[in-house]
Amino acid sequence: MAAHPASFFIDSARRTISLESAAVSALGDDIGPAFAEACKTLLATEGRVVVTGMGKSGHIAGKIAATLASTGTPAFFVHPGEASHGDMGMITRQDCVLALSNSGTTAEILTLLPLIKRLGVPLISITGQPESELALASDTHLLAAVETEACPLNLAPTSSTTASLVMGDALAIATLEARGFTAEEFAFSHPGGALGRKLLLRVADVMANGDEIPCVMPNSPLIDALDEITRKGLGMTTVVSEDQTLLGVFTDGDLRRAVEHQIDLTTTPLEAVMTTGAQTVTEDVLAAEAVGLMERHKISALVVVDEALIVRGVVTLLALLKAGIS
């Protein structure tokens, strides 16, 4: 095999990207009433959307099913070959079927058509051939035709699978918007990921509370605040009244300034040097919002209070970072 210069690979990549981009752009011209009807069918489905496809279309179908499921439309993938050997039992009369086949003549899918019709479930298809057997048998057909594959032999599914994938994404996003699907609902489908943590984790989940909260009275000497900061290890202490109402905070920075001004740590009451007007949050605030608040005010901790300004906890930037919030 002859060696090729770097330009050979770069030119090939650019050609592929250009061809697939053109295929995706052309999809917009074919979006019309059929697409709207497909969306209405998905929204009206009481069961699940069963997505199927063979070969490379099967891989795309699996991804579309996953995207639908994570954006508010319950869906799963069924292999058409396995469906002929028992997996048709996974499809109920409350479902709908979304079938992918570029040619529209995939034998494994065509074999299922009489069974799908017998169940009486809606059939949506995405093909590159509007007059194909699958397209004509469908209740709703979406055209994802391409002029040529990115493969120089015009054989390997490339542009066609990209077009089908984008059509599936368009269906998922259109139905997401129609449902009014929220970011919090999305997070419930992704609890293990970084996005899920940002959208689900709240201050109450990561704050120090109970005996972990550093607190001193305003008439206590500075040395007591120093001892509390050291013992609790949060780099600050709250200053509270007898009923635990927040009066202020005293931080490592306040301590350094006190030392610089040679303030007597054993006799000076904390109320003389504490910082009032401390930044606070409530327990139900999203952890990601707490991070943003700290960044804006260039601080490393927030006091967590209730509506009456009673101290409920302390949340630190370090704790949030350890929880994966950034």
Q: What is the pLDDT of residues 71-116, one digit of tens each?
A: 889 999 999 999 877 788 889 999 999 999 999 999 999 999 999 9
Structure tokens at 296: 């804006």
pLDDT at 234 over 70: yes
Task: Please give the distance of CA 99 from its chain centroid, rounded to a whole number.
Answer: 26
pLDDT band at 139 (very low <50, low <70, confident <90, very high): very high
Choosing among 3.40.50.150, 1.10.1740.10, 3.40.50.10490, 3.30.1950.10, the CATH entry for 6-181 is 3.40.50.10490
- 305-315 pLDDT per residue, tens: 999 999 999 99
pLDDT at 193 over 80: no
pLDDT at 187 over 80: no
Beta strand pairing call for 215-216 and 280-281: unpaired
Percent of the chain as helix, strand, coil, to the nearest 5: 50, 15, 35
Could you state, in order of their start, the residue ranges of all structural domains in the chain? 6-181, 203-322
**Angle subtended at Cα 177 by Cα 171 and Cα 183, rounded to the nearest 5 degrees:** 115
Helical spans, DSSP H, in the chain:
6-27, 33-44, 56-70, 80-83, 107-110, 113-119, 133-137, 159-179, 183-188, 194-200, 203-206, 222-232, 252-260, 287-297, 317-322
Report the mean per-residue pLDDT for the chain. 89
Cα Rg for the chain, rounded, in angstroms?
A: 30
* 205 or 86, higher pLDDT: 205
pTM score above 0.75: no
Q: For 203-322, give the CATH class.
A: alpha beta
- Whose tokens are 């004509």? That residue is 136
pLDDT band at 198 (very low <50, low <70, confident <90, very high): low
Sign of CA dihedral 134, 137, 139, 143: positive
Residue 195 has a pLDDT of: 57
Residue 194 has a pLDDT of: 55
- 240-265 pLDDT per residue, tens: 999 999 999 998 888 888 888 888 88
Phi, psi (rounded to 5 degrees) for 265? -75, -20
| Cross-strand bridge partners of residue 303 | 280, 314
Least confident of 184-198, 268-282, 293-307: 184-198
Structure tokens at 222: 């500075």
Structure tokens at 241: 């009244």
